[in-house]
């Protein structure tokens, strides 16, 4: 039986029924990687010997009567997570030999759930790009079109899933790093509520793995079905035992609704800072039509929606004010000089970014207070709606662009060029206030490329967009294997 693109849920059922062993699944996955990954370059650090040993252990555990959520299921892990015995580089050449002593907390949770880790997936330099390429491990190609990017920074994970290299993967998301690769590669991803899943051990080398509270970044699941996202999120969810104690129990509320006709959904396809390309707009409309057809209440506008212009500015400020903490003093002083030369009338995204890079603590507190006002606005909106549907980026996957100065790169939206990083504004809609967002495939562009949307839900109500993702998968279809 061909299981290349089986979901984790299907594999778990086959394993429980004795129709296949973990050793067989693992050997099949390794054979696929060795055969096909030369073209894709998704698995940058294979760990096949230990994977085969873990598979044998899983089969023995099942023979003893054990049953864990991921027992015997082959998975991959984003390169940026620490795994004892494997290098963690974040694509940075100066750290190519950095070897952490212990697993990241999420890797520990995967293993405790019985997963078989096949290896690590590729990332951009420092996780700071919308593409996945670096000097150490090279470029990850999109499985649908090798001339295009798989996205970033979890691009290796998305490409691995679309190629059938394991049933699940774990990634991270600060600027769409889970959602954008899912959208570009036609798979599923979930950006959890801020703070829902512990991040310790997902840290740039050579920094120690400490239990920090992230300001914007999260870790989360990637899969080939919506139900698999929930399966993996249940393994990942929960705070760090070092700060909350091992007995801490976090129970997410159930989804608000089980049926499509009970959902109230706000659909957005326009952003004040960047146009939405025709292929992505068509994907949003496919979802909107499916919702209407399924009896959901769908609105296209609401006065309750927090202002997207201010939201984008705030997102840039919070994102880039934290990015300069490790800059050399000389580079920081150059930024201060450049920011001082800006015209007071310049209210562009680039100007907001530059000013944020030299924020005082007082400036940051003021920005954070404005974020809290936005969070309150979202609470009011989610009293009237259950989810918001909107783009992830304005276009499908774009051609590889490795210009060493990202400020010179451009994104082509229906024949018109825009600044490369402006495509991040849609990711920031959910990231800035810390809301959960589920990326789902919605079909393909006229060129045959995957197109996805995100379903944004209320804070700590992750199961609501996840359930909506399941219902839409039943209605419009889900993952399709690349041809």
CB atoms within 10 A of CB 349: 18
Paired tokens of 190: 């979930």
Instruction: Report the alpha-carbon distance of residue 195 to residue 463 in Å, rounded.
Output: 15
Tokens 């490409």 appear where? 159
Answer yes or no: 153 catalytic: yes
> How crowded is residue 299: how many other Cβ atoms within 10 Å of its Cβ?
15
- Return the structure tokens found at 267: 């659909």
The verdict on whether 157 is a catalytic residue reads: no
CA distances from residue 361 to 217, 375, 467 in whole angstroms, order as listed = 20, 21, 40
| Active-site entry in 22, 132, 150, 153 | 153
Look at residue 84 and give its three-state secondary structure.
Answer: coil
Closest CA to 110 of 284, 25, 235, 257: 235
Q: Are 318 and 356 in contact (CB under 8 A)?
A: yes
**The token pair that represents 170 in the structure block:** 């774990």
User: Which positions ≥6 away from 103 have C-beta within 8 Å?
Assistant: 82, 83, 84, 111, 201
Q: What is the 3-state secondary structure (H, E, C) of 232-250?
A: HHHHHEECCHHHHCCCCCC
Instruction: Give the C-alpha separation, 78 to 90, whole Å.
Output: 9
| Class of residue 31 by CB neighbours under 10 A (exposed 0-12, middle 13-18, buried 19+) | exposed
Coil, helix or strand at residue 104: coil
From the candidates 6, 22, 78, 163, which is the catalytic residue? Answer: 78
Give just the sign of the alpha carbon dihedral 328, 331, 336, 337.
Answer: positive
Q: Which of 283, 307, 469 is nearest to 393 (CA)?
A: 283
Q: What is the DSSP letter of 237?
A: B
* 450-456 and 437-444 strand pairing: antiparallel
What is the rounded distance in angstroms from the CA atom of residue 29 to the CA atom of residue 116?
A: 11
Q: What is the token pair recorded at 39?
A: 């073209």
Kindly name the residue from 169, 172, 177, 225 that is annotated as catalytic. 177
Q: Tokens for 139, please give them.
A: 């470029």
- As given in the structure block, the two tokens for residue 248 are 């801490």
Catalytic residues: 78, 153, 177
């Amino acid at each position: 039986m061909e299981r290349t693109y089986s979901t984790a849920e299907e594999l778990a059922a086959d394993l429980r029924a004795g129709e296949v062993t973990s050793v067989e699944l693992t050997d099949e996955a390794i054979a696929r990687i060795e055969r096909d990954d030369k073209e894709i370059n998704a698995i940058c650090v294979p760990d096949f010997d230990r994977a085969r040993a873990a598979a044998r252990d899983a089969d023995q555990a099942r023979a003893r009567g054990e049953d864990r959520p991921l027992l015997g299921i082959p998975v991959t892990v984003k390169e940026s997570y620490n795994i004892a015995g494997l290098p963690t580089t974040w694509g940075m050449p100066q750290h190519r030999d950095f070897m952490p002593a212990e697993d990241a907390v999420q890797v520990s949770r995967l293993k405790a759930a019985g997963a078989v880790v096949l290896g690590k997936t590729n990332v951009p330099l420092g996780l700071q790009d919308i593409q996945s390429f670096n000097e150490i491990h090279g470029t990850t190609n999109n499985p649908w079109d090798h001339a295009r990017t798989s996205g970033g920074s979890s691009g290796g994970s998305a490409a691995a899933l679309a190629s059938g290299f394991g049933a699940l993967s774990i990634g991270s998301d600060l600027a769409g790093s889970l959602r954008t690769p899912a959208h570009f590669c036609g798979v599923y991803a979930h950006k959890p509520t801020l703070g829902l899943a512990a991040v310790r051990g997902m840290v740039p080398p050579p920094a120690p793995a400490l239990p920090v509270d992230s300001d914007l970044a999260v870790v989360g699941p990637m899969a080939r079905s919506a139900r698999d996202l929930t399966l993996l999120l249940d393994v990942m969810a929960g705070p760090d035992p070092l700060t909350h104690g091992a007995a801490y129990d976090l129970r997410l509320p159930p989804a608000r609704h089980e049926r499509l006709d009970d959902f109230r959904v706000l659909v957005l396809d326009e952003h004040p800072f960047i146009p939405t390309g025709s292929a992505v707009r068509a994907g949003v409309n496919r979802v909107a039509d499916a919702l209407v057809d399924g009896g959901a209440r769908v609105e296209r506008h609401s006065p309750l929606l927090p202002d997207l212009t201010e939201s984008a500015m705030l997102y840039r400020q919070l994102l880039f004010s934290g990015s300069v903490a490790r800059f050399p003093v000389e580079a920081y002083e150059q930024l201060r000089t450049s920011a001082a030369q800006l015209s007071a009338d310049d209210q562009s995204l680039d100007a907001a970014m530059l000013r944020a890079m030299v924020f005082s603590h007082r400036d940051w507190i003021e920005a954070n207070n404005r974020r809290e006002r936005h969070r309150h606005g979202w609470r009011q909106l989610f009293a009237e709606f259950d989810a918001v549907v909107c783009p992830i980026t304005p276009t499908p996957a774009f051609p590889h662009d490795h210009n060493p100065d990202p400020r010179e790169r451009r994104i082509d939206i229906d024949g018109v060029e825009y600044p490369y990083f402006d495509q991040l504004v849609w990711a920031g809609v959910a990231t800035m206030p810390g809301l959960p967002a589920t990326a789902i495939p919605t079909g393909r562009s006229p060129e045959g490329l995957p197109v996805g949307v995100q379903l944004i839900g209320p804070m700590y109500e992750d199961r609501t967009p996840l359930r909506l993702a399941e219902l839409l998968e039943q209605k419009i279809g889900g993952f399709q294997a690349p041809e």
